[in-house]
Amino acid sequence: MASTACFMIVSRNDIPIYEAEVGAAVKEEAAHQHQFILHAALDIVQDLAWTTSAMFLKAVDRFNDLVVSVYVTAGHTRLMLLHDSRNDDGIKSFFQEVHELYIKILLNPLYIPGSRITSSCFDTKVRALARKYL
Amino acid sequence: MEEYPEELRTPPVALVALVGCPELHAVISTHLHSEQPPINTLALPDFSKISLISKTPKQPPHSAQSLGIFKRDWLLKHRTRVPSVVAALFTSDHVSGDPAQWLQLCTDLENLKLGNIFAELSNTYYRDEGRRIKTCLERKSISSVELSIRYCFKVAVYAEFRRDWVEALRFYEDAYYTLREMIGTSTRLPAIQRLVEIKTVAEQLHFKILTLLLHGGKVVEAITWFHQHNTSYKGLVGAPEVNFLHWEWLSRQFLVLAELLDMTSATIQSTVIATDKLSEWEFSSAYYYQLAAHYLKEKRSCFELTLSMSETASDIDGNAESVAPSVYVGQFARLLEQGDTYTMQPITDEEYVRYALAEGKRFQDSFEIIALLKKSFESYTNFKAQRMASYCEFKMAREYFSVNEFGNAKLLFDSIASLYRKEGWVTLLWEVLGYLRECSRILGSVKDFVEYSLEMAALPVSIAGVQSLSSKECGPADPASLSQREIIHKEVFELVRGESGLASNEENNSVRVTGDQPLHLEIDLVSPLRVVLLASVAFHEQIVKPGAPTLLTLSFLSQLPHTVEIDQLEIQFNQSVCNFTIVNGQRPQSAAISNVQPGHRVETAPALMLSTNKWLRLTYDIKSDQSGKLECVSGPHFTICCRAESPASMNDLPLWKFEDRVETFPTKDPGLSFSGQKATQVEEPDPLVDLQLGVSGPALVGEIFAIPITISAKGHAVHSGELKINLVDTRGGGLLSPREVEPFSTDNLHVELLGVSGLESEDDNIRKIQHSFGLISVPFLNEGDSWSCNLEIKWYRPKPVMLYVSLGYSPHSSEPNAQKVNVHKSLEIEGKTAVVFSHQYMLPFRRDPLLFSKIKPGPDSDQMASLPLNETSILIVTAKNSTEVPLQLLSMFIEVDDDDIGSLAQCNTGLRTLQTLHSSCLEKSSRRFSLSFPR
């Protein structure tokens, strides 16, 4: 498992709707540092997302040892991961499974698209996926 | 890049020496310098100075262990002191020889192209030199790795002199790779200095390679090369006491690449396409500036750590003075003065560390870091990568904060905060606001401090507090959590209640909110403080009659974590008579009530408590006004002025919009929440004046039709009254004919307002603006008086017309801006043609077969008829009254002239006079005779 990984879901209007520190060395204090990097990477994703039909954009940004990988859904929700591991396949599977979870959240009639995901079940599952793949 | 010596930064230029004839040197130098490629000249006035360029015999280097990789001044020497060609110039009288060859010599001189021959000769020289060293390399007879690197470097430089970039690049790379191999094996120097030397040399070789690649337009290769360089040296941190040197070195690598990219960016912009391996941002210098700044920060923190662990600072300073760079690149030595000469003595690692620390103390890293980040920020801004730029701005601001430049830091933080606010990145906003709060505390700005604190306390952070370990990664605000919000909330309310002061660094005493320095906050529609206090006002009715009471609901919402108690609410309207104050009933002793002016309405509410995310609703009745501003007051010296918003047009709180919270409406009645407005329309009072239009029957075309208007003041006096008269076609369209666009003439006019009669003073009572519009001023009328006049309207065509008459007056005073009351009346009047004329000719008897049996209208004139010449024709003219009123025909004229026969009728009913008939009648009866002869 990667020692550092910060996972965020950013809605189509650029607002973060879910965030989790999923690295082995969880440092909540550093969370905002990771978020700064992820926020800055949105600029690149914005440019890159329209140049390719692929959903998985690997290593869009690099900051020191930290790499940003992004998965853009059809609704332009961005799943962003800041990580230091190079396990591309694992990251891709992680994204795909989180995407499925996200779709299930969207199917909930009480969930307003674009609002914060507060489901603790979702949180637990995402963390389990992170342990499995990252 | 400026740190590198000039000879390293620019491509080498061939050097030739000129000896003798000093008067020609300037001309030749200039000429050679302007050659393509240029040649530098070393001018020696006469042969006595030739020893300057003579070669000192060297000991063969292979024998001894080499002392360094290459000498610091070798490149400079070859560029400025070792010429490739020496040209000796003689005046002709110094030359003697066979006169037979003299002519030949002259011809040769004629053919001599100085620039070409020099270029050729120096090329040969550099090639030979290069070849000589290459042979040494190939023989593999070199004793040490250092020499092999040195030889590769020399071959590459000679190749550069010849502008053979491919070979130069190859040998630089060879040197670079050989050097990389040296890292684990060399034992010549003490460990720390060994690594420093290798890195310095690697840096120079890397720089050369990078420059050659970029100048060759191979940007992708250059960046790939850089990554490779970065990967192979990044891990070589070295001994912990000098690890700051490594980070400084690494930062410089990034900075140099960024600067080189900036220099070449103009040329590469068009050619760069992101490849598989590299993405677009890797070609932008901004990225590398940012990383350079990052590593420089790393350097600073390591340096500070080392400094704090090392011995006393004075010890470092005293020892370092005599240490200087030695003759070899990347080496340092102690200078020993022995009489007139200096000798270099190797130093130990301990001495070197002390020297490096002393050197390091001379630099202000923070300003360097800010400068790098600023470049990065500007570059990102040019790319319109706003978020990247903001990240750089944030780091810049943090640097300013760390060097205690709080004013600058605050400016930058402010601009970033607005982006994070807009995009709703709460964690980042929290962090930035934490800095801002700290900056304003230190700067002693209470208002800013309160604003930032309130905003932080109202941010949508619901994580239960984690026990925070104070980390240097964190800003002055601890990680965002609910408990932290509560702490901030408490702090700020203690401050505004005057219970505690704000400890400012500026002047050592704390700043308080007191009666002398009251605090006033404004919250408008775009203020970030809307989350703190959101005020909405809804009138229950959209339109009210003056004097009639209506209900008004005030609603307040706050997202602060604790309940806020309001002392007093002041509600202000644009009509200040309606303003009123609501006082908290639980705090009757509150001093704020004394501010209330006498005669002011004061309401007492049982409790004015604002709980988190719960609307505080207050409903009051109010008379006859429109709303404007809503002000609410809290605390003895603390007021918040909040712009009221209509519930119908109220925007969501941007940050709370997507949070998991109970959504409630500002008013109890949900309908009012969706449609409520913060303004209401107050109607004008009912008119108490009668306006009568007395009309009998239809109007006749041509007649001046008089319409009597009577104004009788029954309940109101009429001040500055004004009658507006407007004629409108009932079927739509204008009262003018369709050719209205043409210049205005009465011919096109169908109905015209002529004037007004029956006024006492005739002057300027009607101000005609158009033919269908009039304005009449009405004199002052007391209650019970009446006034009348006659409107004169004339029809030119039969047409029904709507007549609108409206009276505007002010019932109380004649001031121009007094409230007006309006009375409207309208009437449809039909215009009719009074008399219809028709005519016909009696057909003549058929007497002549040649005569036309029928009188046909000619093709070019609608009513043209041909009548027989010299015959009596009978014309029957009929006038028919088509109105309901009897008309008396007075006379009828039928006129004949050369061209026209006109008929003019005048008739009189005794009541009405039709003075002229409209031209249409004339047209109908006018005839033209045409002569026709039988053939």
pLDDT digits (tens, 9 = 90+) for B355-366: 888 888 888 888
Asked whether B440 and B410 are in contact (CB, 8 A), the reply is yes
pLDDT of residue A9: 92
- DSSP, residue by residue, B70-119: SBTTHHHHHHHT--SEEEE---GGG----HHHHHHHHHHHHH--HHHHHH
* CB count in 10 Å sphere of residue B739: 10
- Shortest Cα distance from B448 to chain A (angstroms)? 23
Alpha-carbon gap, residue B200 to B208, rounded angstroms: 13
Asked whether residue B598 carries a pLDDT value surpassing 70, the answer given is: no
Alpha-carbon gap, residue B421 to B531, rounded angstroms: 12
Question: With 0-12 CB in 10 A as exposed, 13-18 as middle and 19+ as buried, what is B362?
Answer: exposed
The Cα-based distances of B462 to A30, B426, B430, B481 in angstroms read 18, 11, 12, 6
Decide if A44 and B385 are in contact by the 8 Å CB cutoff: yes
Asked whether residue B523 carries a pLDDT value surpassing 90, the answer given is: no
In chain B, what are the domain boundaries?
1-162, 189-323+349-403, 406-511, 524-682, 689-832, 835-925
B-chain residues near A28 (CB < 8 A): 466, 479
A-chain residues near B388 (CB < 8 A): 40, 43-44
Asked whether B644 and B629 are in contact (CB, 8 A), the reply is yes
Asked whether residue B13 carries a pLDDT value surpassing 90, the answer given is: no
Alpha-carbon gap, residue B730 to B86, rounded angstroms: 110
B-chain residues near A48 (CB < 8 A): 279
Helix residue ranges, H only, B655-694: 670-675
Minimal Cα distance from A112: which residue of B?
B658
B81 Rama class: left (phi>0) / alpha (psi -120 to 50) / beta: alpha
Alpha-carbon gap, residue B747 to B737, rounded angstroms: 9
Decide if A44 and B291 are in contact by the 8 Å CB cutoff: no
Residue A115: pLDDT band (50, 70, 90) is confident
B-chain residues near A39 (CB < 8 A): 387, 390-391, 420, 423, 425, 428
Cβ contacts of residue B298 below 8 Å, gap of 6+? B247, B251
Query: Among B353-357, B584-588, B657-661, which stretch is predicted with the lowest mean pLDDT?
Result: B657-661
Interface membership of B427 toward A (CB under 8 Å): yes
- Mean pLDDT along residues B874-895: 74
Asked whether residue B461 carries a pLDDT value surpassing 60, the answer given is: yes
Interface membership of B388 toward A (CB under 8 Å): yes
Q: What is the pLDDT of residues B385-434, one digit of tens each?
A: 888 899 899 989 988 998 888 999 999 999 999 888 888 888 888 889 99
Decide if B479 and A36 are in contact by the 8 Å CB cutoff: no
Q: What is the pLDDT of residues B269-303, one digit of tens each?
A: 545 555 555 667 777 888 889 889 989 988 888 88
Q: Which of B523, B527, B493, B533 is nearest to B637 (CA)?
A: B493
Decide if A36 and B468 are in contact by the 8 Å CB cutoff: no
pLDDT of residue B931: 29
B-chain residues near A114 (CB < 8 A): 658
Q: Kindly report the backbone phi and psi dihedral angles of residue B493, in degrees, each rounded to the nearest multiple of 5, phi listed first.
A: -75, -30
Minimal Cα distance from B254: which residue of A?
A64
Interface membership of B379 toward A (CB under 8 Å): no
Minimal Cα distance from A35: which residue of B?
B428
- DSSP, residue by residue, B746-783: GGGBSEEEEEEES-SS-TT-EEEEETTEEEEEE--B-T
Residues of chain A in Cβ contact (below 8 Å) with chain B: 11, 14-17, 19, 27-33, 35-37, 39-44, 47-48, 59-61, 63-64, 112, 114-116, 118
Decide if B279 and A16 are in contact by the 8 Å CB cutoff: no
pLDDT of residue A71: 92
Decide if B473 and A30 are in contact by the 8 Å CB cutoff: yes
Alpha-carbon gap, residue B131 to B136, rounded angstroms: 9
Decide if B394 and A36 are in contact by the 8 Å CB cutoff: yes
Interface membership of B660 toward A (CB under 8 Å): yes
B341-346 and B332-338: which strand pairing?
Answer: antiparallel
Q: What is the pLDDT of residues B693-725, one digit of tens each?
A: 887 777 877 777 888 888 888 877 888 788 888
**Number of inter-chain CB pairs under 8 A, A vs B:** 84
Q: Kindly report the backbone phi and psi dihedral angles of residue B533, in degrees, each rounded to the nearest multiple of 5, phi listed first.
A: -145, 120
Alpha-carbon gap, residue B707 to B802, rounded angstroms: 13
pLDDT of residue A103: 93
Asked whether residue B874 carries a pLDDT value surpassing 50, the answer given is: yes
Average pLDDT, chain B: 75
Decide if A43 and B388 are in contact by the 8 Å CB cutoff: yes
Minimal Cα distance from B472: which residue of A?
A29
Q: Which helix H or strand E contains B411, and what residues bound it?
A: helix B406-423
- Paired with B573 in beta bridges are B627
Asked whether residue B921 carries a pLDDT value surpassing 50, the answer given is: no
- DSSP, residue by residue, B874-902: EEEEEEEE-SSS---EEEEEEEE-SS-EE
B-chain residues near A60 (CB < 8 A): 279
Asked whether residue A101 carries a pLDDT value surpassing 90, the answer given is: yes
Asked whether B808 and B724 are in contact (CB, 8 A), the reply is yes
Decide if A43 and B386 are in contact by the 8 Å CB cutoff: yes
Alpha-carbon gap, residue B192 to B179, rounded angstroms: 16
- DSSP, residue by residue, B175-216: HHHHHHHHHHH--SS-HHHHHHHHHHHHHHHHHHHHHHHHHT
Q: What letter represents residue B440's amino acid? A: S
Identify each DSSP E strand in B379-456 by its residue range.
none
pLDDT of residue B524: 78
Interface membership of B871 toward A (CB under 8 Å): no
- The pLDDT > 90 percentage for chain B reads 3
Decide if B391 and A37 are in contact by the 8 Å CB cutoff: yes
Residue B160 DSSP label:
H
Asked whether residue B659 carries a pLDDT value surpassing 60, the answer given is: yes
- Mean pLDDT along residues B461-474: 56
Q: Residue A39: which of B280, B425, B660 has the nearest Cβ?
A: B425
Alpha-carbon gap, residue B690 to B786, rounded angstroms: 9
Interface membership of B663 toward A (CB under 8 Å): no
* Residue-range domains of chain A with CATH: 5-133 (3.30.450.70)
Asked whether B97 and B31 are in contact (CB, 8 A), the reply is no
Minimal Cα distance from B279: which residue of A?
A60
B-chain residues near A47 (CB < 8 A): 280
In this structure, the dihedral spanned by the alpha carbons of residues B802, B807, B808 and B809, taken in order and rounded to 10 degrees, is 180
Query: Among A40-54, B30-44, B757-771, B779-793, which stretch is predicted with the lowest mean pLDDT?
Result: B757-771
Q: Which of B667, B698, B707 is nearest to B557 (CA)?
A: B667
Alpha-carbon gap, residue A32 to B428, rounded angstroms: 6
Interface membership of B281 toward A (CB under 8 Å): yes
Rounded to two decimals, what is the model's pTM?
A: 0.71
Q: Kindly report the backbone phi and psi dihedral angles of residue B828, in degrees, each rounded to the nearest multiple of 5, phi listed first.
A: -100, 130
* CB count in 10 Å sphere of residue B186: 18
Decide if B428 and A35 are in contact by the 8 Å CB cutoff: yes
- Mean pLDDT along residues B782-806: 83
B-chain residues near A61 (CB < 8 A): 281
Q: Which of B322, B307, B308, B314 is nearest to B353 (CA)?
A: B307
Decide if B473 and A48 are in contact by the 8 Å CB cutoff: no
Q: Which helix H or strand E contains B906, and what residues bound it?
A: strand B901-908
Asked whether residue B12 carries a pLDDT value surpassing 70, the answer given is: yes
Q: What is the pLDDT of residues B298-353, one digit of tens each?
A: 888 888 888 887 765 555 555 556 787 888 888 888 877 777 777 778 888 888 88
* CB count in 10 Å sphere of residue B272: 16
Interface membership of B479 toward A (CB under 8 Å): yes
What is chain B's length?
A: 935
Asked whether residue B588 carries a pLDDT value surpassing 50, the answer given is: yes
B-chain residues near A19 (CB < 8 A): 427
**Fold held by B689-832:** Immunoglobulin-like (2.60.40)
**Tokens found for residue B779:** 């004199």
Minimal Cα distance from A13: which residue of B?
B423
Q: Which of A22, A48, A16, A11 is nearest to A134 (CA)?
A: A22
Residue B627: pLDDT band (50, 70, 90) is low
pLDDT of residue B57: 57
- Shortest Cα distance from A122 to chain B (angstroms)? 15
Q: What is the pLDDT of residues B728-777, one digit of tens each?
A: 877 665 555 544 444 444 556 778 877 777 665 555 555 555 677 888 88
Q: Residue A15: which of B280, B423, B466 has the nearest Cβ?
A: B423
- The residue among B516 and B827 whose pLDDT is bigger is B827
Query: Among B16-20, B198-202, B602-606, B784-788, which stretch is predicted with the lowest mean pLDDT?
Result: B602-606
Q: Residue A29: which of B385, B386, B474 has the nearest Cβ?
A: B474
Task: Calculate the CA B550 to chain-centre distance.
Answer: 44
* Predicted complex ipTM: 0.87
Interface membership of B429 toward A (CB under 8 Å): no
pLDDT of residue B54: 67
Q: Residue A32: which of B387, B388, B431 has the nearest Cβ?
A: B431
Decide if A29 and B431 are in contact by the 8 Å CB cutoff: no
pLDDT of residue B53: 67
Asked whether B452 and B436 are in contact (CB, 8 A), the reply is yes
Q: Which of B112, B170, B179 is nearest to B145 (CA)?
A: B179
- Shortest Cα distance from A29 to chain B (angstroms)? 6
pLDDT of residue B221: 86
- Mean pLDDT along residues B181-204: 83
B14-19 and B85-88: which strand pairing?
Answer: parallel
Q: What is the pLDDT of residues B142-190, one digit of tens each?
A: 777 888 888 888 888 888 888 888 988 998 998 888 888 887 777 778 8
Q: Residue B428: which of A11, A32, A112 has the nearest Cβ?
A: A32
A-chain residues near B474 (CB < 8 A): 29, 32
Top-ranked range on mean pLDDT: pick from B123-132, B527-536, B776-785? B123-132
Is the bond into B11 cis (omega within 30 degrees of 0)? Answer: no
Q: Residue B424: which of A15, A36, A48 has the nearest Cβ?
A: A15
